[in-house]
Amino acid sequence: MADLAALAESLINGKAPEVKEMTQKALDEGVAPGKVLNEGLIKGMNVVGEKFKNNEFYVPEVLIAARAMKGAMGILKPKLAESGVEPVGRVLIGTVKGDLHDIGKNLVAMMMEGAGFDVVDLGIDVAPEKFAAEAQEGDVVAMSALLTTTMTAMKTTIEALEEAGKKDKVKTIIGGAPVTQNYADEIGANGYARDAASAADVAKELIDA
């Protein structure tokens, strides 16, 4: 009998081969892919997020858990699509123009995936026009910046979305070491998050609003 609590526990402990095996076993036993995702993987990733927020876990533990999640998602994704399970929403994420830092952005992407979002990662040094061109109605557009000199590109990106007529059709969320809630308010971003786990929470709140 598939034990989804044990699957969540293995994910929290970052045991990639075990997580993959248990995911496959659950599917083979006929557990619905959506149930494996929600009651196994996402449940585990939520705990990882909480531990990260509370400083019980640090970046390496989160990366290891996220890698385990990715491995299992490789098996689960086609099954989810077949069974018609819709993602929570779509997140278009990137590090803004001029900025090459991607460790924090990758963590945010992984936590978003862990929360059930379909994540499209545009990478680093993403031009405002690129964000604007790729954004689709209903998206959460997530921007990361690590430099005081590049965080201004978040403003330019929001302006580019506005010019493309997409600003009101998406939700924007920003974050990164120099970024603050005040800055988000100043440039008209819909949300701000200080860490990767909170970013997934804020994204969920934004699409539910």
Residue of 17, 75, 74, 65 whose CA lies nearest to 42: 65
Q: How many residues does the chain have?
A: 209
Q: Kindly state whether residue 142 participates in binding ligand B1M, applying the rule CB under 6 A.
A: yes
Q: Which 143-202 positions form the footprint of ligand B1M (CB under 6 A)? A: 143-144, 146-149, 173-178, 193, 195-196, 199
Residue 140 in 3-state DSSP? strand
What binding mask, one character per residue, do residues 50-89 give for ligand B1M by CB under 6 A, x or -?
---------x------------------------------
Q: Kindly state whether residue 36 participates in binding ligand B1M, applying the rule CB under 6 A.
A: no
Q: Which two tokens stand for residue 190?
A: 């819909």
What binding mask, one character per residue, do residues 90-119 give for ligand B1M by CB under 6 A, x or -?
--------xxxxxxxx-xx-----------
Are 134 and 157 contacting, i.e. CB atoms less than 8 angstroms apart? no
Spell out the residues 6+ positions from residue 51 whose beta carbon is closer than 8 angstroms to its own.
12, 57, 61
- Closest contact distance (angstroms) between CB of 48 and ligand B1M is 12
Size of the site for ligand B1M (CB under 6 A): 28
Residue of 111, 96, 77 whose CA lies nearest to 156: 96
Q: Interface residues with ligand B1M (CB under 6 A)?
A: 59, 98-105, 107-108, 142-144, 146-149, 173-178, 193, 195-196, 199
